[in-house]
Amino acid sequence: MSRCRTSLTLLCACAVLVALAGCDGGGQRRYAVSGEVKFQGRPLDQGAVTFLAQDPSLASGGGAMIKDGRYSIPAEHGLLPGKYRVMVTSAAPGAPPDPDAPPGPAGPLPKDRISLKYNAETTLTAEVTAAGPNTFNFAVD
């Protein structure tokens, strides 16, 4: 596995674990979330999608890896109903490290090929509902 993919996988796994750590297991029902991500009009080959609750009291969030343009979060790890900001990240295969990124366990993270308006400064949103369907498709550049 390439260093880029390993770093991206580690980053996504950390984001999901942090989101799940805030869950109290108080019995609120979680919902499966899935969808497609297109990059420059084509299915995004690899990356990650992260859902961040807009309401801090919701204490919910999660994410999934994107493979061949598709992602899926099963209900047991799913999201609580509410509004979310959505971040999409993807390092180009073989991308050089981002010189501005802090060093991590595997060294500096590679530069993200997705525009900031879809990750660090995301404009993407989704609303998870009990009525569903909770399928969210995104187009990024």
The domain locations on the chain are 3-140
With 0.85 as the threshold, say if the pTM is over it.
no
Amino acid residing at 39: F
Which fold does the domain 3-140 belong to in CATH? Immunoglobulin-like (2.60.40)
8-59: per-residue pLDDT in tens?
Answer: 444 444 454 444 444 444 568 999 999 999 999 999 999 999 999 998 887 7
Contact assessment for residue 97 and residue 111, using Cβ atoms and an 8 Å cutoff: yes
Indicate the pairing of strand 70-73 with strand 33-39. Answer: antiparallel
Query: Is the model's pLDDT at 137 over the cut of 90?
Result: yes
76-120: per-residue pLDDT in tens?
Answer: 999 999 999 999 999 887 766 666 766 666 666 678 999 999 999
106-117: per-residue pLDDT in tens?
Answer: 666 678 999 999
